[in-house]
């Protein structure tokens, strides 16, 4: 996306164009200033109400941590899940001083370091590979503890050829349990992302968590098309409801499930109904061209997100 000039940002009709280019519409009754104006000052959330967060995939992936925190704050984001390998540099290789600095930066910015998005996965039939991933996850547990975060995201990544699916699901669940035991000691959680060809089916995710059977392990709801059964996410949600500890959301404007889109209005109602008071984290497949464009995207996104949350 080309760099947005100040003239464009100051022009009402051009700001509406920006909203369309980012995939977000100005909602009826919602002024342009509320959507794309000065820094969004979101009210304190009532008890039992979830807030808006951000995954650095792809938004913010190319920003150093100070800039990432500034952009998130000006965009109305309250928490960040730091995806590994991105430019923020928050990795397991950080020393104690670096970890303390990360923790302080988040505190000074008034943003929650929600956790780390690892790529740890446990489906392999090679025991040594699984062991390496478990060890890597445990290092992320230590990192999240040290920066004041809440959890480590891991992922199943599909099934193996020539192996019964039930065996793969059990291996994943057993591996997550090994990570969750250490996480509990550090007062950190393990979040298994609803992910992977076949493994993302809610019934299979439920099997993984049933094998794991540890209170410090849960799922990151990932807003996948596979969740939607007959135009609704209710059946899938009920399967995983006891384990939902984090939530990824993506293109909120695609909310017309009659056209095959994701029923976010229903999802938000279900989250509110269960008393979910954590974060719904933006994870979209687009990367605005610069920090200013990213801030504008986040402001439009928050405006639409707020309407959906209000029901």
Structure confidence at residue 289 (pLDDT)? 79
- 209 close to 202: Cβ distance less than 8 angstroms: no
Return the higher-pLDDT residue of 49 and 183: 183
pLDDT tens track for 212-239: 999 999 999 999 999 999 889 999 999 9
Q: What DSSP string describes 186-252?
A: TT-EEEEES-STTTTSHHHHHHHHHHH--TTEEEEE---GGG-BTTBSHHHHHHHGGGEEEEEE--T
Q: Categorize the per-residue pLDDT at 50 as very low, low, confident or very high, splitting at 50, 70 and 90.
A: very high
Structure confidence at residue 30 (pLDDT)? 39
d(CA 254, CA 295): 21
pLDDT tens track for 92-150: 999 999 999 999 999 999 999 999 999 999 999 999 999 999 999 999 999 999 999 99
**Residue 20 CB neighbour total at 10 angstroms:** 12
Nearest CA to 257 among 279, 282, 284, 228?
A: 228
Terminal Cα-to-Cα distance of the chain (whole angstroms): 32
Structure confidence at residue 260 (pLDDT)? 63
Structure confidence at residue 27 (pLDDT)? 40
**3-state SS assignment for residue 290:** coil
Sequence spans of domains, the chain = 54-310
* Mean pLDDT rounded to a whole number for the chain: 87
pLDDT exceeds 80 at position 154: yes
Return the higher-pLDDT residue of 12 and 76: 76
Strand partners, 81: 55, 115
- 122 close to 136: Cβ distance less than 8 angstroms: no
Structure confidence at residue 261 (pLDDT)? 82
Nearest CA to 141 among 61, 210, 215, 216?
A: 216
Architecture of domain 54-310: Alpha-Beta Barrel (3.20)
pLDDT tens track for 31-49: 333 333 333 334 445 555 8
Structure confidence at residue 258 (pLDDT)? 55
- Strands (E) located in the chain: 51-55, 79-83, 112-117, 151-154, 189-193, 217-221, 244-249, 279-282
């Amino acid at each position: 996306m080309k760099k947005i000039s100040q003239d464009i940002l100051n022009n009402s009709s051009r700001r509406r164009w920006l909203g369309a280019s980012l995939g977000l519409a100005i909602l009826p009754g919602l002024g342009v200033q509320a959507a794309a104006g000065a820094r969004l000052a979101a009210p304190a959330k009532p008890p039992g109400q979830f807030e808006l967060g951000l995954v650095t995939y792809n938004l913010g992936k190319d920003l150093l941590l100070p800039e990432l925190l500034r952009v998130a704050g000006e965009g109305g984001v309250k928490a960040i899940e730091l995806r590994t390998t991105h430019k923020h540099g928050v990795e397991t290789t950080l020393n104690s001083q670096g970890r303390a600095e990360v923790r302080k930066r988040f505190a000074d910015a008034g943003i929650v370091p929600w956790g780390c998005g690892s790529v740890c996965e446990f489906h392999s039939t090679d025991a040594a590979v699984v062991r390496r991933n478990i060890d890597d996850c445990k290092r992320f547990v230590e990192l999240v503890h040290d920066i004041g975060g809440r959890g480590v995201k891991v992922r199943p990544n599909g099934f193996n050829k020539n192996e019964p699916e039930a065996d793969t699901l059990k291996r994943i669940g057993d591996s997550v349990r090994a990570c969750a035991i250490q996480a509990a000691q550090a007062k950190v959680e393990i979040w298994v992302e609803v992910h992977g060809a076949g493994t993302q089916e809610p019934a299979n995710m439920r099997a993984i968590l049933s094998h794991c059977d540890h209170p410090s392990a849960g799922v990151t709801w990932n807003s996948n098309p596979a969740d939607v059964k007959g135009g609704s996410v209710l059946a899938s949600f009920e399967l995983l409801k006891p384990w939902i500890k984090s939530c990824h959301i993506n293109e909120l404007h695609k909310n017309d499930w009659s056209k095959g889109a994701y029923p976010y209005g229903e999802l938000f109602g279900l989250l509110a109904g269960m008393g979910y008071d954590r974060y719904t984290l933006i994870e979209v497949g687009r990367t605005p061209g610069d920090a200013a464009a990213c801030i504008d995207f986040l402001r439009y996104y928050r405006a639409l997100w707020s309407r959906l949350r209000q029901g």
